[in-house]
């Protein structure tokens, strides 16, 4: 595997389910990100981890819970979601966490909440 991978690629879940999104980066980077991409809205940064420590949490509802067990893996735990949470969830990584670093993205998980 190369670059940034995400699983699953597609997920349909009910509002009472609990599921997790997984992201893995194979680039040796130190920072990882979760984004939400909804139709007709700009990309929304959700969480940033630098060296496994959460450094940014953009007022995300508590039904989204991130976890970063090491610098290569990032999870997004989902529970009691709402239909408006349906979106493409993108994971990204960068060499460092800061304005000068370009981010490398995974293919995303297309989430549908029914």
* Binding positions for another protein, rule: CB under 8 A: 31, 42-43, 45, 48, 50, 55-56, 58, 88, 90, 92, 97-100, 102-108, 110
Minimal distance, residue 45 CB to another protein, in Å: 5
What are φ and ψ of residue 63, in 5° steps? -70, -10
Contact yes or no for 36/89 (Cβ under 8 A): yes
Determine the Cα–Cα distance for residues 41 and 80; give it in Å rounded to an integer.
23
SS3 for 83?
helix
Minimal distance, residue 16 CB to another protein, in Å: 27
Minimal distance, residue 103 CB to another protein, in Å: 7
- 13 versus 45: smaller Cβ distance to another protein: 45
Determine the Cα–Cα distance for residues 108 and 32; give it in Å rounded to an integer.
14
Minimal distance, residue 18 CB to another protein, in Å: 24
- 12 versus 43: smaller Cβ distance to another protein: 43
- 56 versus 80: smaller Cβ distance to another protein: 56
SS3 readout for 48-70: EEECCEEEEECCCCCCEEEEEEE
């Amino acid at each position: 595997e190369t670059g940034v991978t995400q699983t699953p690629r597609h997920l349909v879940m009910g509002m009472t389910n609990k599921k997790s999104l997984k992201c893995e980066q194979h680039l040796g980077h130190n920072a990882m990100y979760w984004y939400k991409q909804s139709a007709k809205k700009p990309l929304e940064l959700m969480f940033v981890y630098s060296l496994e420590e959460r450094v940014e949490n953009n007022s995300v509802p508590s039904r989204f819970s991130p976890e970063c067990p090491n610098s290569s893996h990032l999870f997004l735990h989902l529970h009691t979601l709402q239909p408006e949470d349906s979106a493409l969830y993108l994971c990204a990584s960068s060499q460092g966490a800061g304005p000068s670093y370009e981010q490398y993205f995974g293919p995303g998980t297309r989430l549908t909440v029914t």
